[in-house]
Structure 1
Amino acid sequence: MPPETPVPWSYFLIRILFRIVLKIFYGTIVVEGAENIPETGRPCIVCANHTNSLTDALILVTSIPSQRRNMLHLTAKSTQFGKKTLTSWLIEAAGTVPIQRRKDFDEGVANNDAPLAKLTQTLEMGGAVCLFPEGASRYHPTIAPLKTGVARIVSTILSRNRDNADFEISILTCSITYMHRQHFRSDVLVSFHPPLNFRPKDNPELLEPVDFDNIRHVTAQMHRQIATGTFDAPSWNLIRAAKMATSIYAPLGTTMSLGDYVRVTRTFLDLFKTANLPDQAQSTDLAGQEDSDQLKDKDIVKLREDLRAYQSELYQLRIRDDRIRRPLSRPVIVYRMMLRFYWASFLFFISLGGLALWLPVAATTFYAVHNFKKTGPVWDTWDEIAQYKLIYGLVSGLCVYAAAIAVTFPIFPVTSVGVPVLMWMSLRWFEDAVSAARALVALGRLLRVTPETLSHLRDTRADLHRRVVHLAVDGLGLPADPERHFVVYGEKDKGRVVGRWANETNYFSVRRRRKRDWNETLRLYEQFDEDS
């Protein structure tokens, strides 16, 4: 086994700091497939989809258990190095390797010979390297075509070790799925897939001189694995339609893990995007098409369009599907509004002390993100919003902590522990208070909807429910009773609540809020896919 790569102290510090920050910023980070991660000493290239800039790398660093890998060597675009900023210091202190991109240089020429030599040396010593084969972070619903650099590195290393029969290098693909990548207390699913293992004796087709078709074949394998673990579609509308289908098939309150939710949604998504009609298909295009496959596609496209139309109606009214599924009488609505009002008021009151400490953090991150958004168009800035919130939140949070210690220095042994506890508990209380306030607002909106509109929406939903369940069960092989199935067969330790008693008691969990809706974020208004 190759010698282990030494781990710098700064890597330990960064890992601890950002593990705390990420657990604060994201409500639930669910890691699946950790058993697939090659252990320390086995050369490994970790590859993931890239939609959230530096946050993606931090998620991977903190999601890989230290008992599996002692260090993950990161790569980043060279333009982030050599600056007098905290982000630049963090990147350099973690031992990150700079990669040049052609578009960052006026001549369009990038020289990565030295970085590639460094990565090759690290891998041959048994290290793990993180690469994002899309080449750049981007805010887009589909995964970009992967570059062939990872496969070429594997080919180079196998060729250098062709005489070592026991040498093995792995490509570990990972899918990162953000429910709302830039929103506070949203959720993240990190799925590690079975590694692709390569040896000189087993993969002679990758030894130099190598046919480039074999390089493309390995790259295609990587793309398939990454794409099957997250949402990958040519348009946001397809993803929204798939989420709407999931909410009808497995309604609010179904005890699904985050992984189950993503897999069910992806199942609908795969069907919607493979229907061989465009997203805005017109009925006139179907004239004369009578074979069963074409009719099946016609039904799928019609369902997709009807789901989007129903979703748009709900968005206009700013109410959720669950309010239509379970109708309430007006007296019951008023009674529940009173309960939500008193409960939200109580939670807001007890969280005020800690919120005073959070105020400088919130103001700093808001100001930083507000200014950052002015630097470019949406498609070029939204993938870095979470990164800015994390960095500025970390800095301002440390400043608040230091100031609290300084002000209370005579009793600093107490405040050094009490301040973080107070800030965390106030955040948890505030999170529950916001949830209660959102329910209050939603019930108020429901009172304003006319009986005729509600009747129309219920009829529409009943028809959609029939068609979605028929498609899910008979066409996709999903369980006929999801509310019962996922209680028995779902993941029990992936952010899921089992049973009514656990649901009620864990509502007050100190560790994290037990969500019934994976679309939930910490916002005073409800988060809809239309405005995500």
Structure 2
Amino acid sequence: MAKGYTPKLIPWLYDFMLWLMSIMVDCFFREVHPRGSWRIPKRGAVLFVAAPHANQFVDPLILMRILRTEAKRRVSTVIAAKSMARKFVGTASGWFGAIPVGRALDLAKPGTGTIYLPRPSEDPLLLKGFGTNFEKQATKAGLIILPTINGQTATADVAEILGPEEIRLKKAFQGEDAIKQLTGLDKIPEESSYTLADGFKGTRFKTAPKVDQSKAFDAVFHSLDQGGCVCIFPEGGSHDRTELLPLKPGVAIMALGALAANPNSDLKIICCGMNYFHAHKFRSRAVVEFSAPIEVPPELVELYRSGERREATRQLLEIIYNGLLAVTITTPDYDSLMLIQAVRRLYKPKGKKLPLPTIVELNRRLAQGYKQYHDDPRIVNLRKNILKYNGQLWMLGVRDHQVEYANLSTPVVIFTLLYRLAKIAVLALGTLPGLILFAPIFIAAKVISIRKSREALAASTVKLQGRDVIATWKLLVALGMTPLVYTFDVCVLAYWNYRNHVQGFVPTWVPLWLLVIGGYTFFIMITFAALRIGETGMDILKSLRPLVLCLNPTQSNTFVKLRKTREHLSMEVTEVINTLGPSMFEDFELTRLVADPFRTGALQEPESPVDSPTHSRTNSYTLQKASTNGEDGDLDAPTAAHGQLPRNESFHDLSNLGIFASRPASRSRSRAASRNGTFASLNAMTTKENLEEVSKRIRGAMHERGIERSRRRSEGSWEFAEHGEASGKQSPVPGDSKKDA
């Protein structure tokens, strides 16, 4: 790649390939919802920073599709040179205008001998070896890489090579595991001075050379200087962790370098949160959230120009990291993530279907609260009870939303069970032809993706289970095999027509070319119909087990006891959130995402904005029109309301879905609804002082209204309840009078 390299992005080819890939993505995911896409600038240089990188080649495809449909912008993605070297991936990435960048870890090689720290407490930068030859194996500014422990790999930069068995590092190895590896100690002593373990002979290691990134940076600078868009995943590679990996400094260098070369480029940085629910599973869901544009502080650009590049990079990297935290859900481990999702399900009112973006925001707030209060005795006790509840769900083989089935009478359970069995039989007839036709692709995709995930896990230093490559390989296998399978089936059809005109069903006057076109069309239609019908059938199939468990409605039934346990946990979760929430969020009552289910007026929708400036206008409509397919980790979970069974076996979704779309129309353009409304008067205000004054008044009025409404709810709930009982009429909802309007 020569200096001044320009990504070869051909607009029409970019759009065609993106449309083709989007078909596969839409078939794999049940829903991909953009949140905050109205924040994306329609013109000018933009650096998109996306994380976590949980789905190898699928992440950039989803992001490119959203940017093209929502903001009408094309983007060049920074891709690993190792991936670019693959024939198919490299060719397709080139059509998308990808920018290859080398990674030192991709070039890592096992070193001969072993290494250790001779004086770990006195001189942690001095590294020695047994049987090594650093003069040939290592390079200045290269990497020394330790073996992986618990999914973590420690690395250090080489500052100076002192001899074949001695080098000096730029920074000491960090982490207790790394020190144990290099000293042989089972436990690091608390005293400041300590030495190696007796008889320790060092640990194995790898070396990686310094990679020249100047050509990649030149390509990025050129694209941004022309007002284009560049996307980078700053974690350095895909992974399946629940927290963000340390960000590589390259993203900050790209922004600072572009502004240092052209201060008038008006570069904006937008953080993109890639929030998946079981990213590796077929028909899962995702929410891609965009932050407000970040402007690089001018003082950091000046600091970068003056030669203090390391400090300027560090400060900007911290700003970007905080921006990513605001649009992603990060937890210390997988168990904590499962706990947070369980708390959110218990906190949600019965019969309420939350939009997918609201689920993501609620999970994020719960994660923030858990991080701050995880040592609180109430949280510790709640965690213990919820984990026990989740264990009972697992033992029974049911999901949280299905616990409500235990409230049904035996005749209703029997009738519903027979009714759903009949529906499954009908749906199976519609699914079977497409399932048989596509079975070779399903089997091959599963086998190959599992094998590739194991290979990726063995070669990686950050992956836990290698799930981040599963969806990618499923799509690649399907993309490669689908044309072959359809062609084979069309050939069989043509031969059958040649022998006996398909048992006489095809007229003799039908030409071969028309039969071929009709065959391809027919096979595509039946496989797509099988996908949609089979999806509904699987939702029904998952609901049969809890119905069988409900056939014994006595109080001794474990399933019935579990329902009571859930009700108690739901009240406990709500009490803890209502107690600790205001201490963490000052505007807790004003910005509620979920109304308190145990308070009068709980059915009233919160007024806080969630997705866009006009979300408060569209929130209730979205809640009413949301699909019945469920939410997060139980994303196929239906909702129950007023003691009735969820309509998860309903056929209504099949008639409302587009041909190649599995996500609802974006609400990110809903700002247009307010152009001629109340906010139109703000267009006449041009001075900054007026806008700030109006914003201050609006915020103050909203805050006062929220406090007043909360006060009326808490003080008037019992009064309204008593009045309703005395009059025999339904109690009015506080805050719903004409006076409030």
Name the TM-score, length of structure 1 as normaliser: 0.83
- Matched with 2:56 is 53
- Matched with 1:273 is 371
- Say whether residues 1:186 and 2:284 are aligned partners: yes
Cα distance, 1:262–1:61 mapped onto 2, change above 3 Å: same
SS in 2 for 1:256: coil
Which of 415, 418, 429 is matched with 2:533 structurally? Answer: 429
**Distance in 1 (alpha carbons) for counterparts of 2:79 and 2:344:** 36
1:198-237 matches, within 5 Å, as 198=296, 204-210=302-308, 212-237=310-335
- Matched with 2:384 is 305
**Distance in 1 (alpha carbons) for counterparts of 2:311 and 2:45:** 24
Cα distance, 1:252–1:386 mapped onto 2, change above 3 Å: farther
Which of 27, 30, 48 is matched with 1:27 structurally? Answer: 30
Cα distance, 1:211–1:201 mapped onto 2, change above 3 Å: closer
- Say whether residues 1:490 and 2:619 are aligned partners: yes
- Say whether residues 1:80 and 2:100 are aligned partners: no
8 Å CA contact 1:159–1:200 kept in 2: the answer is: no
Name which of structure 1's ranges 495-504 and 441-450 shifts more when overlaid on structure 2.
495-504
Cα distance, 1:125–1:393 mapped onto 2, change above 3 Å: same
Cα distance, 1:207–1:135 mapped onto 2, change above 3 Å: same
- Say whether residues 1:348 and 2:478 are aligned partners: no
Cα distance, 1:371–1:262 mapped onto 2, change above 3 Å: same
Cα distance, 1:472–1:208 mapped onto 2, change above 3 Å: same
- Say whether residues 1:39 and 2:45 are aligned partners: no
Gap regions ≥5 residues in structure 2: 1-5, 110-206, 495-512, 582-587, 607-615, 629-638, 664-741
SS in 2 for 1:485: coil
**Distance in 2 (alpha carbons) for counterparts of 1:252 and 1:76:** 45
Task: Kindly state the Cα deviation for residue 460 of structure 1 after the two structures are TM-superposed.
Answer: 2.3
Deviations 1:263-292 (A, max 9, x none): 112222221122252xxxxxxxxxxxxxxx
Task: Kindly state the Cα deviation for residue 431 of structure 1 after the two structures are TM-superposed.
Answer: 0.8
- Say whether residues 1:108 and 2:110 are aligned partners: no
Cα distance, 1:135–1:331 mapped onto 2, change above 3 Å: same
SS in 1 for 2:227: coil
**Distance in 2 (alpha carbons) for counterparts of 1:439 and 1:485:** 29
1:38-437 matches, within 5 Å, as 38-40=41-43, 42-49=44-51, 50-66=53-69, 68-84=71-87, 86-105=88-107, 106=109, 107-109=207-209, 110-162=211-263, 166-198=264-296, 204-210=302-308, 212-250=310-348, 253-275=351-373, 277=375, 297-326=376-405, 327-375=407-455, 376-377=457-458, 379=464, 381-406=466-491, 407=493, 409-437=513-541
Cα distance, 1:72–1:160 mapped onto 2, change above 3 Å: same
Name which of structure 1's ranges 367-376 and 15-24 shifts more when overlaid on structure 2.
367-376
Cα distance, 1:299–1:128 mapped onto 2, change above 3 Å: same
Name which of structure 1's ranges 474-483 and 433-442 shifts more when overlaid on structure 2.
474-483
8 Å CA contact 1:141–1:232 kept in 2: the answer is: yes
Cα distance, 1:421–1:493 mapped onto 2, change above 3 Å: farther
**Distance in 1 (alpha carbons) for counterparts of 2:579 and 2:524:** 52
SS in 2 for 1:336: helix
Cα distance, 1:239–1:448 mapped onto 2, change above 3 Å: farther
SS in 2 for 1:46: strand
Cα distance, 1:379–1:140 mapped onto 2, change above 3 Å: same
8 Å CA contact 1:168–1:198 kept in 2: the answer is: no
**What amino acid does structure 2 have at the position aligned with 1:490?**
N
- Matched with 2:570 is 465
Task: Kindly state the Cα deviation for residue 187 of structure 1 after the two structures are TM-superposed.
Answer: 0.6
8 Å CA contact 1:5–1:127 kept in 2: the answer is: no
**Distance in 1 (alpha carbons) for counterparts of 2:618 and 2:454:** 47
Gap regions ≥5 residues in structure 1: 278-296, 516-532
Task: Kindly state the Cα deviation for residue 204 of structure 1 after the two structures are TM-superposed.
Answer: 4.1
8 Å CA contact 1:256–1:490 kept in 2: the answer is: no
Name which of structure 1's ranges 434-443 and 63-72 shifts more when overlaid on structure 2.
63-72
Cα distance, 1:349–1:17 mapped onto 2, change above 3 Å: same
**What amino acid does structure 1 have at the position aligned with 2:390?**
Q
8 Å CA contact 2:9–2:96 kept in 1: the answer is: no
8 Å CA contact 1:47–1:132 kept in 2: the answer is: yes
- Matched with 1:480 is 596
SS in 2 for 1:74: strand
Q: Percent identity?
A: 21
Cα distance, 1:306–1:489 mapped onto 2, change above 3 Å: farther
Name which of structure 1's ranges 21-30 and 97-106 shifts more when overlaid on structure 2.
97-106
Cα distance, 1:492–1:25 mapped onto 2, change above 3 Å: farther
Deviations 1:371-407 (A, max 9, x none): 3244245726211001001111111222233445554
**What amino acid does structure 2 have at the position aligned with 1:81?**
M
**Distance in 2 (alpha carbons) for counterparts of 1:120 and 1:136:** 22
SS in 1 for 2:464: helix
Deviations 1:36-77 (A, max 9, x none): 12224x111111111111111111111112573442111222
Deviations 1:470-508 (A, max 9, x none): 233443333214665279863756982499999967333
**Distance in 1 (alpha carbons) for counterparts of 2:262 and 2:84:** 32
**Distance in 2 (alpha carbons) for counterparts of 1:506 and 1:252:** 22
**Distance in 1 (alpha carbons) for counterparts of 2:603 and 2:310:** 49
**Distance in 2 (alpha carbons) for counterparts of 1:460 and 1:82:** 55
Cα distance, 1:399–1:129 mapped onto 2, change above 3 Å: same
Task: Kindly state the Cα deviation for residue 201 of structure 1 after the two structures are TM-superposed.
Answer: 8.6
Whose radius of gyration is greater, 1 or 2?
2
**Distance in 2 (alpha carbons) for counterparts of 1:241 and 1:120:** 43
8 Å CA contact 2:410–2:550 kept in 1: the answer is: no
Aligned length: 489
**Distance in 2 (alpha carbons) for counterparts of 1:386 and 1:178:** 12
**Distance in 1 (alpha carbons) for counterparts of 2:7 and 2:86:** 31
Deviations 1:234-265 (A, max 9, x none): 01111111111111111564221101111112
Deviations 1:167-190 (A, max 9, x none): 211111100111110111111111
RMSD over aligned Cα atoms:
3.2
**Distance in 2 (alpha carbons) for counterparts of 1:144 and 1:4:** 28
Task: Kindly state the Cα deviation for residue 514 of structure 1 after the two structures are TM-superposed.
Answer: 9.4
**Distance in 1 (alpha carbons) for counterparts of 2:560 and 2:7:** 66
Q: Which has the higher helix share?
A: 1
Cα distance, 1:323–1:505 mapped onto 2, change above 3 Å: closer
8 Å CA contact 2:26–2:662 kept in 1: the answer is: no
**What amino acid does structure 2 have at the position aligned with 1:368?**
I
**What amino acid does structure 2 have at the position aligned with 1:59?**
I
- Say whether residues 1:508 and 2:508 are aligned partners: no
**Distance in 1 (alpha carbons) for counterparts of 2:414 and 2:662:** 26
Cα distance, 1:103–1:360 mapped onto 2, change above 3 Å: same
Name the TM-score, length of structure 2 as normaliser: 0.61
Cα distance, 1:469–1:120 mapped onto 2, change above 3 Å: same
**Distance in 2 (alpha carbons) for counterparts of 1:397 and 1:355:** 13
**What amino acid does structure 1 have at the position aligned with 2:60?**
A
